[in-house]
């Protein structure tokens, strides 16, 4: 279900990205309440970022779920329930909602027919706090989750491979070694791609 949820989030993001840029190409003159709603929800890319941030959180949830299944196998078998997974999926949407949509309304407005999204902050301190919180929550912490969880999975698989080697189970050992190699590649790939794809957003804020 987490993988299906991930695909749904990515589809949601792609759809609203197409809607956003298609609307921008139409050179719509923003005015009145309709213009304000177009600005805050579409032109600001708020809906796209809502799903994008939820997608990042869901990736972390998938990683934690895999970590629990492997590193704490007995506990996950006895304690981990479907409702916990569904609750985590809902939490991804709620956290992302708070981090994006709740902020866009008080900081965005239409001026002379143009949309200024995430522009009108009460103070520079509030703006710095928001982006610092975003950087720590959706960049540093999530990358830490990737590295820690997959590293612990590798440790457990390596330990199992050592036990199998001691019992002379070469076929099982080779299989576990292959799993270890795949986990390491996955950890590097996921962490590197996430770090590279999200870094420009925070660099732009620092430059600004």
Which sequence spans correspond to the domains of the chain?
A: 1-120, 122-208
Q: Which two tokens stand for residue 200?
A: 């420009």
CA-to-CA distance for 37 and 202, rounded, in angstroms?
A: 26
111, containing H or E segment: strand 109-111
Dump pLDDT digits (tens) for 11-60: 999 999 999 888 888 887 888 888 899 889 888 888 888 999 999 999 99
Task: Please return the burial class of 64, using the count of CB atoms within 10 Å of its CB with bins 0-12, 13-18 and 19+.
Answer: middle
Position 145 scores a pLDDT of 92
Position 90 scores a pLDDT of 95
Beta bridge partners of 116: 109
Q: Which fold has domain 1-120?
A: Rhopdopsin 7-helix transmembrane proteins (1.20.1070)
Dump pLDDT digits (tens) for 54-101: 999 999 999 899 888 888 888 888 888 889 999 999 999 999 998 888
Dump pLDDT digits (tens) for 111-166: 888 888 888 888 888 888 888 888 898 889 999 998 898 888 888 877 776 666 66
CA triple 153-60-142, angle to 5 deg: 100
């Amino acid at each position: 279900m987490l993988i299906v949820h991930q695909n749904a989030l990515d589809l949601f993001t792609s759809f609203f990205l197409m809607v956003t840029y298609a609307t921008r190409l139409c050179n719509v003159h923003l005015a009145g309440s309709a213009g304000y709603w177009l600005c805050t929800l579409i032109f600001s890319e708020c809906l796209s970022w809502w799903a994008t941030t939820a997608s990042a959180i869901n990736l972390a949830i998938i990683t934690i779920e895999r970590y629990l299944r492997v590193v704490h196998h007995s506990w996950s078998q006895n304690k981990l329930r479907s409702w916990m997974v569904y609750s985590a999926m809902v939490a991804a949407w709620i956290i992302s909602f708070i981090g994006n949509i709740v902020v866009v309304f008080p900081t965005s407005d239409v001026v002379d027919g143009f949309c200024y999204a995430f522009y009108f902050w009460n103070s520079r301190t509030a703006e710095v706090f928001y982006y610092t919180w975003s950087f720590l929550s959706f960049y540093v912490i999530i990358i830490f989750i990737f590295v820690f969880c997959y590293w612990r999975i590798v440790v457990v698989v390596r330990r199992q491979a050592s036990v199998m080697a001691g019992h002379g189970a070469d076929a099982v050992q080779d299989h576990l070694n292959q799993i270890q190699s795949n986990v390491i590649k996955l950890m590097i790939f996921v962490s590197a791609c996430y770090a590279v794809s999200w870094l420009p957003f925070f660099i732009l804020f620092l430059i600004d």
